[in-house]
Structure 1
Amino acid sequence: MKNERYRIAHREAWIGVALVIVNFAIWYGFAYGLGSGDPEKYTYVFGFPAWFFYSCIAGTAFMIVLIFIVIKFFFKDVDFEEEDED
Structure 2
Amino acid sequence: MEKDLRGKRDYRFKIANREALIGVALALFNFLWWFAFAYGLGDESPENYSYVFGLPAWFFYSCVVGFVIMVLLVIIVVKFWFVDVPFDEDRGEQS
- TM-score of the two chains, using structure 1 as the length reference: 0.93
Larger Rg: 2
**Structure 1 position 49 matched with structure 2 position 56:** yes
Partner of 2:14: 7
Q: Residue 70 of structure 1: which of 59, 77, 85 is its match? A: 77
| Equivalent-residue separation in structure 2 for 1:2 and 1:80 (angstroms) | 15
1:60 aligns with 2:52: no
Q: Within 2, Cα distance between the matches of 1:81 and 1:54?
A: 44
**Segments ≥4 residues shifted beyond 3 Å:** none
Partner deviation per Cα, 1:38-69 (whole Å, 9 max, x = no partner): 11000000000000000000100000000000
Superposed CA RMSD in Å reads 1.7
Q: Say if 1:76 and 1:2 are closer, same or farther in 2 by CA, change over 3 A.
A: farther
Alignment of 1:74-85 (within 5 A): 74-83=81-90
Structure 2 portions without partners, runs of 5+: 1-7
Deviations 1:4-47 (A, max 9, x none): 10000000000000000000000000000000111100000000
Is there any run of 5+ residues in structure 1 with no aligned partner, and where? none
The two structures have a TM-score, normalised by structure 2, of: 0.85
Identity over aligned pairs, percent: 56
